[in-house]
Amino acid sequence: MEFKDKVKDVLDKAGDVAEKTYKTVADKSSKFMEETKLKIQASDIEDEITATLGEIGVMVYEKYKSGEKVAPELVKECKRIEKMYKDIDKIDVKTLYLKDLRVCEECKETIGIENKFCPHCGAKQKKVRIPVEKVEEVITEKVCPECKAVHGVDVNFCTKCGYKF
Encode pLDDT of 49-93 as tens digits. 999 999 999 999 999 999 999 999 999 999 999 999 999 998 998
pTM flag (> 0.85): no
The string of pLDDT tens digits covering residues 111-150 is 999 899 999 999 999 987 655 554 445 556 788 888 888 8
User: DSSP string spanning 25-90?
Assistant: HHHHHHHHHHHHHHHHHHHHHHHHHHHHHHHHHHHHHHHHHTT----HHHHHHHHHHHHHHHHHHH
